[in-house]
Chains A and B, each alone.
Chain A
């Protein structure tokens, strides 16, 4: 579904992504794990068009999207839930969700997606008119994911959904991620919490200082001695 080949990204003189290649297959949860500064977020930003790679290709369903502007990529069914949630603080929960469906015209399917999001996150349904900035961290993460779903994506890019959340809430969020995946949405999950990420993912890629250093089925990656030592604390 998504094939990234030999992607190179620079921030000024800094070589942030070095020949990064990976693929996401339709229907799976793929996770990209690695330490701080490994290039995970940069990879996601390059895919969703928020930054440009210098070389390499990003193909989505056979189409090269590497030089496409972000707002057109969203239209293709690729939606990013950015790191740190980035909800629109001075807007209500309902307005945030409406903006998620910004580029869509069909009122009926928008409404059914909205109902689905409220079903996934009953707490958002209770707080429809509340300002997003006054939600708790967990609720804001739910809202960010819900907003991402409102664009009716085929591929959902999640950037650090567990960041700054209590362990119990992290578990809840990951269960919902699995539930979203079970409805046929392919998921690319970037996480520092390798343990949780590997437990829900089908395949995994490990990144280190801008390179992919290891890949395979999530269970295999989780069993790898190096990964266990470096990321799983075992």
Chain B
């Protein structure tokens, strides 16, 4: 706390709002540059494809963060919901020939329904037990897909029209971030965080904890489904191997690395972790080792993730909070604890 006092340089609310605004403006600028690059073909098709995956991963990470980060319910089944959305959307496109936006919404609704049905019984479980149950769900989805005729079984499902353009992926990702930021800031958002902080206290406050846990789970599942739909129409071919347990772990790593409870963190981590394996191609066979070492190193240095529970705008407000702590340390004289 002494350190806090030394660094305790308070920023006025106005200046921290300007800082948040600058952070937002920088993000928009980056995105604009990428767009110019894509549309003037300065970024090649290969890399544009990676950018689409970045957008899909942002949607996956942000939506899982609502469940794992904000509400504190440890789910390992995100790939399962992604698979549901991917297959549902592919079938809707192939057999119903619905327009793509409708297909996306349909995939979201179907995944949300499944999330609701799975969430209702499993969310009574806590911690490790919930993790195991959701893990089981993900595997069940995969095994069911593997054995159904309509999904093509282990041979996969091909011939899906390539409807996921960079533009669409980008728009859906932006919408996702806006929607989740608003959910988190609303009074519902406070209920989610209260459940994470202390479920019993949240219940004693009059928060219907079951309802909110199932709600977080269903919303998270809906967007995982939409991400799955984008994925299916980007790859044009899906098979059960794309949605294994490893996939759920990849998304979880993005959420934990970015910070449980930070949307900005999820965006940054999803972007970095998607591009990094490509950037490391120079060192060929060692790249996965480098990637793993980076993860271990980062967790040792910042176990709370890149952003902790803070957002980009909050980072500029840090000085103020530490200032408060410093003041408290001064005022807190001789009281029994």
Q: Which residues of A contact B (CB under 8 A)?
A: 48-50, 69-71, 74-75, 79-82, 86-91, 95, 98-100, 102-103, 126-127, 129-131, 134, 136-138, 147-148, 151, 164-169
Contacts and interface: CB of A to CB of B under 8 A. Distances in A.
A88 B332 CA distance: 21
B208 interface: yes
B336 A88 contact: no
A108 to B, nearest CB: 17
A207 to B, nearest CB: 21
Given A86-B198, A134-B325, A75 B206 contact: yes
B207 interface: yes
Interface string B201-223: 11111111100000000000000
Majority secondary structure, B binding face: helix
B321 interface: yes
A169 B205 contact: no
A88 B337 contact: no
Interface size grouping (class) on chain B: 20 to 34
Given A127-B328, A129-B324, A102 B336 contact: no
B197 interface: yes
A155 to B, nearest CB: 13
Interface in B305-337: 309, 321, 324-325, 328, 331-332, 335-337
A99 B190 contact: yes
11 contacts: A50-B200, A50-B203, A50-B204, A74-B205, A88-B197, A88-B198, A91-B194, A102-B190, A151-B205, A166-B335, A166-B336
Given A90-B309, A130-B324, A130-B328, A71 B203 contact: yes
B185 to A, nearest CB: 12
Nearest to B320: A129
Across chains A and B, which 8 residue pairs bring their CB atoms closest together, nearest first? Answer: A166-B336, A74-B206, A86-B201, A103-B206, A88-B197, A71-B208, A137-B337, A70-B203
B252 interface: no
Contacts of B207: 71, 99, 102-103
B237 to A, nearest CB: 44
Given A86-B198, A91-B197, A130-B324, A79 B204 contact: yes
B157 interface: no
Contacts of A130: 324-325, 328
Nearest to B328: A130
Interface of B: 187, 190-191, 193-194, 197-198, 200-209, 309, 321, 324-325, 328, 331-332, 335-337
Nearest to A132: B197
Nearest to B337: A137
A204 B207 CA distance: 31
A136 B328 CA distance: 10
A134 B335 contact: no
A175 to B, nearest CB: 16
A147 B309 CA distance: 23
Nearest to A137: B337
A140 B335 CA distance: 13
B337 A136 contact: yes
Contacts of B198: 86-88
Contacts of B204: 48, 50, 70, 74, 79-82, 86, 148
B247 to A, nearest CB: 30
Contacts of A98: 190
A88 B201 contact: yes
B269 to A, nearest CB: 20
B193 A88 contact: yes
A98 to B, nearest CB: 7
A100 B336 contact: no
Nearest to B309: A90
Nearest to B211: A71
B197 A102 contact: no
A169 B335 contact: yes
Nearest to A127: B328
Given A88-B194, A98-B190, A151 B335 contact: no
A136 B208 contact: no
Given A102-B206, A164-B337, 14 more contacts: A70-B203, A80-B204, A81-B204, A86-B200, A88-B194, A88-B197, A88-B201, A89-B197, A103-B206, A103-B207, A127-B324, A136-B337, A147-B205, A169-B335
Contacts of A168: 336
B194 A151 contact: no
B310 to A, nearest CB: 10
Contacts of B325: 130-131, 134
Contacts of B203: 49-50, 70-71
A165 B191 CA distance: 29
